[in-house]
Chains A and B, each alone.
Chain A
């Protein structure tokens, strides 16, 4: 009972933060809220997660959640990696624009270029 209240509290807090986020897209927000709702549901009805696990051929509900957690984490890492790549490309473009805005000419005379 104690752990269930604690877990629910954490999940609901995260849900509130996510719901108030203006930056992420609606789709991402809905997906995260859906996952949290499912989490809360399984916290209070663990036998349901067991049933679901059995249905897909996994022994325990906790294992099923663990596998899902690994997959979601890997997907998130991949997503963030690609996002960092995109950001670094934009940074490169910015740095390039700054560099090209101020070319320094050599102070040799007779260089007509």
Chain B
């Protein structure tokens, strides 16, 4: 069942909120490549957790909705407790490809890196709208400017990292700003990183669930208040 010929512990973290309709399919697809998947049900009112469980994922449930950043942190902590050597992150809505993640793991191991980040702009972004492209480009420019990390894609949920890197990451941004926060910490901690081209598939479902333009301002203000507290 496991195509990634690797005996080491790999955990894939899937933060999920109200993804009952698709999370089962996402987990099934992931488990063709990775046997250990943990879905963090971020206080969903729907059947997200049950669908994930039925598809063969371990499920940890937040008693209330905290946001994707918090869910990622919870999943990473779970994976570390289970003795993971490598930890991947994967969006629940099915826009990522598990095969891409397996490829990123190879890059991580082969190049001796701390973290590999998926980039839709090195790869392919199928069905992306011009407004979304513009928004994501602006997010990249902002992130590059503020973190000193050079990337082509700042808000991609597909990542894989070593346990040592995962242990150093501390996500304080509970909401969507965590994507920028991860990159900022990659820069601050001096982690060895690389981007890998990945394919993002935008179907009607993920477009409906994804980032809206107005979220950009939300992310910006979250980040600023984060700096204030430091």
> A residues bordering B, Cβ < 8 Å?
81-82, 85-86, 88-89, 91-92, 95-96, 98-100, 102-108, 111, 113
Contacts and interface: CB of A to CB of B under 8 A. Distances in A.
A78 to B, nearest CB: 9
Nearest to B67: A92
18 contacts: A82-B229, A89-B174, A91-B66, A99-B40, A99-B62, A99-B63, A99-B74, A100-B74, A100-B78, A100-B81, A102-B60, A102-B61, A103-B38, A103-B60, A104-B53, A104-B59, A107-B53, A111-B35
B58 A96 contact: no
Interface residues of B, number: 31
A82 B174 CA distance: 15
A64 B144 CA distance: 45
Given A95-B64, A96-B73, A100-B74, A106 B58 contact: yes
B134 to A, nearest CB: 30
A100 B64 contact: no
A13 B40 CA distance: 50
Contacts of A106: 53-59
B196 to A, nearest CB: 26
A108 B52 CA distance: 12
A19 B56 CA distance: 59
A63 B36 CA distance: 66
B77 interface: yes
B94 interface: no
Nearest 5 A/B pairs, CB to CB: A99-B60, A104-B59, A106-B56, A96-B74, A92-B70
